[in-house]
Amino acid sequence: MRTYQKIKLTVLFVSCVCFLPVLNAQADVPAAEEWVDIPVVVNIIDASDASNVDDAIKKANEILKQANIRLVVKKTNNNVNVGNGDPNLTEAEGDTAQEDGQKELDKVCGAGKGIKITVADDCWTEDPNTVGWSVHRNPVIVIEPDADANEMGETITHELLHSLTVTAHSNDVNDVMYPTEAGNGIINPNDVNEIFPNAKKRGKPYLSCRGYCLAGPWQFQPVLIIASIYTALSWTAFLMYYVKIAALTPVTLTSDMPT
Ligand SMILES: [Zn+2]
């Protein structure tokens, strides 16, 4: 075998071996999942305590991973005045906040899009035990601040699920739809199935998978596609060379024999 053939063969062989992991990696690529980003506008009513709002939304997003939903804050309005100008909402003031909130969502997030989280020190003065409320299908949820950001995040999630049409409460203390704050953030699979189509209407759906592919509205894996084509060509060339050299070997040996 001549030297340049040996070099070509070696290069091709190394190339094939190097790209074997790429093939394995491609086999491990998880199927793309559909996710939804829901744009959020936060309204802080007058001097209400907003110190835990960001952490509470982070907690809500941790819980909402179970449903492939993510809240994305687009705008925060501080010192929003509703009614008499104090940080507490009467029922009538809450209704006003909901009406105004929907109009603003249409402007900021687009018609029919987005969720508003309204924070008031007392979210319903007529019922002091209530820490959050929402209305079926209404995109404005109203919650009270909580010294525990995790509990506040669970309240946001609970009210969001109501807003996305879940009506029933759960008897399971671990379920986020348990009627009090004792829940441990589990979203029942039936509720996931119910809220996801409604979340898509309020937000922006996209395909995503973790690890190798890019998140976005278009599932595209350019590196893997190019590497796969290269690997396939390398193996084809390697096999062709192997067959050709094997076929030529007896001839080469004959010609190399001393006369
Ligand atoms: Zn509830």
- Gap from CA of 214 to ligand 1 centroid (Å): 36
Q: What is the mean pLDDT of residues 207-217?
A: 55
Ligand 1 centroid–CA 221 distance in Å is 42
Tell how far CA 168 is from the center of its chain.
25
Distance 88 CA to ligand 1 centre (A): 20
Rounded CA gap, 133 and 44, in Å? Answer: 15
Print the SS3 string covering 142-177: EECCCCCHHHHHHHHHHHHHHHCCCCCCCCCCCECC
What would the mean pLDDT of 9-38 be, rounded to a whole number? 66
Q: How far apart are CA 124 and CA 197, in angstroms?
A: 30
What separation in Å is there between the alpha carbon of 177 and the centre of ligand 1? 6
Read off the pLDDT of residues 242-257 as tens digits, 9 standing for 90 and up: 777 777 666 555 555 5
For residue 212, pLDDT beyond 90: no
Instruction: Output the average pLDDT for the chain.
Output: 84
Distance 198 CA to ligand 1 centre (A): 17
Q: What percent of the chain has pLDDT over 70?
A: 76
Binning the chain into helix, strand and coil, the percentages to the nearest 5 are 50, 20, 35
Above 90 in pLDDT, residue 161? yes
> Ligand 1: distance of its center to the CA of 163 in Å?
10
Tokens standing for residue 138: 């209404």
Task: Read off the pLDDT of each residue in 89-105 and give the average, rounded to a whole number.
Answer: 91
* 164-187 confidence digits (pLDDT tens): 999 999 999 999 999 887 668 999
Tokens of 199: 């979340």
Q: How far apart are CA 76 and CA 42, in angstroms?
A: 5
Pick from 66, 105, 69, 100: which is nearest to 83 by CA?
100
Residue 133 C-alpha to ligand 1 middle, in angstroms? 7
Residues 36-94 have pLDDT tens digits of 999 999 999 999 999 999 999 999 999 999 999 999 999 999 999 988 889 999 999 99
